[in-house]
Amino acid sequence: MGLKINHKLINNDVANILVNLCPFKAITYDNFKLEINAACKMCKMCVRQGPTGAITFEEDKVETINKDEYKGICVYVDYEFGSIHNVTFELIGKAKQLAKVINHPVYALLIGHDTDEASKQLLEYGVDKVFVYEDELLKDFDMQRYTNCFEDFINKNKPSSILVGATNIGRALAPRVAARFHTGLTADCTKLEMKENTDLVQIRPAFGGNIMAQIINPNHRPQFATVRYKVFDMPKKVDNPTGSIEKIDIDKKWLKSDVTIISVEEKPKQLDISEADIIIAIGRGLKNKNDITMIEELASLLNATIACSRPMVEEGFFDSKHQIGLSGKTVKPKLIITIGISGAIQFASGMRNADSIIAINNDPNAQIFDVANYGIVADLYDVVPKLIKRIKEDETYV
């Protein structure tokens, strides 16, 4: 949509009226040529109050699709080194909830090699059908080959919505596939809802986490969304799986690649705070880097993992693998103790789904108390040493 100048109606008098009419000085007239520049705020005053027809506002033609042609909610299976990432199962659980609203089947798309056991495992979580692309050339993740398989699956099966885990592979693959279908993708969704007309409501923080944006894609299919690990709950296995497995043949020309994979090595396992059952999270209330030893002692007594807010990474207290929040990890532990953290939404969005939240902060108005189950308004340098002493005295921790 935009403003269109009818140059046949433009003369010196009309141009002067339009130039003087624009409150943003976005209309210029030089060398007998009228132009609208980037300062335009689309207020349309030139259309409403200017000479009739000199400038008009034209809306883009809205594409319409037959949504009935698209059926099913598909979960891309993050499968690597012979195992399925747990985010896949979380997304299957969510897909089943969304599918109930519109009475659609739930699909799983599995691309790889030696996939028999993985296929059976997916059925155990209630998937209606597992679509499998199986080939020796798909053993290792190759962007070009995997994208081609993904595209082939969509063309043949026309799913309405596709959910992808926001892992390294998912974040690389989903945008590329979405681009091939000229459709939208919402990254790092924190909530998903389904309308009865099959529009997927994709909810995620925006503007630095200050608002929650609701995004829909009403005129394109399929709808793509990526979701981080630990955002949704892990579903229970079904007692009597009734789903089926379909292996799809793909033309070998689609398995050609411009990249030659020489070798693939699994990285040594690093700290993953997303997997922790108990977390102690540290914020700017910690005054000195040497005071981390106090926190480490508490963590050792509770068998907890240490995490932090973003400022602690920026100040060099911790590296980024410890960070919780929109620009860090999403966690869902059984217990999290936040110490000296104000609780801005950027941090809270990454931990608010914990089973139990204990907050320690000397500011009674700190935002962290809005999400905490238990709050202690006190200086951490008073509370933590007493807590350590109390735990040591308790025989159940000895």
Q: How many CB atoms lie within 10 A of CB 377?
A: 14
CA 112 to chain CA mean position, Å? 24
Paired tokens of 316: 């060099």
pLDDT score recorded for residue 207? 76
Tell me the residue ranges of DSSP E strands in 270-345.
278-282, 305-308, 335-339
Return d(Cα 183, Cα 153) in angstroms, integer: 16
pLDDT score recorded for residue 75? 98
Return d(Cα 147, Cα 134) in angstroms, integer: 14
Q: In degrees to the nearest 10, what's the CA dihedral of 172, 176, 178, 179? A: 140
In the numeric block, the tokens 């005071």 are attached to: 291
Whether domain 273-397 has CATH 3.10.20.70: the reply is: no
CB 108 within 8 A of CB 121: no
Q: pLDDT tens, position by position, for the chain (398 residues)? A: 789 999 999 999 999 999 999 999 999 999 999 999 999 999 999 999 999 999 999 887 767 889 999 999 999 999 999 999 999 999 999 999 999 999 999 999 999 999 999 999 999 999 999 999 999 999 999 999 999 999 999 999 999 999 999 999 999 999 999 999 999 999 999 999 999 999 999 999 887 777 889 999 999 999 999 999 999 999 999 999 999 999 999 888 899 999 888 888 887 877 899 999 999 999 999 999 999 999 999 999 999 999 999 999 999 999 999 999 988 999 999 999 999 999 998 899 899 999 999 999 999 999 999 999 999 999 999 999 999 999 998 856 54
In the numeric block, the tokens 């009734």 are attached to: 242
Nearest C-alpha neighbor of 354 from the set 272, 279, 271:
279
pLDDT score recorded for residue 345? 87
Specify the CATH number for 2-58; select among 3.30.2130.10, 3.30.70.20, 3.20.20.70, 3.10.400.10. Answer: 3.30.70.20
Domain ranges of the chain: 2-58, 67-255, 273-397
Q: Which neighbouring-strand residues pair with 278?
A: 335
Return d(Cα 250, Cα 296) in angstroms, integer: 53
Return d(Cα 386, Cα 271) in angstroms, integer: 28
If residue 96 lies in a helix (H) or strand (E), which one and from where to where?
A: helix 86-102
**Terminal C-alpha separation, the chain:** 69
pLDDT score recorded for residue 98? 98
Can 67-255 and 273-397 be said to share one CATH topology?
A: yes
Return d(Cα 200, Cα 180) in angstroms, integer: 20
- DSSP for residue 364: T
pLDDT score recorded for residue 335? 97
pLDDT score recorded for residue 266? 81
Q: In terms of CATH, what superfamily is 67-255?
A: HUPs (3.40.50.620)
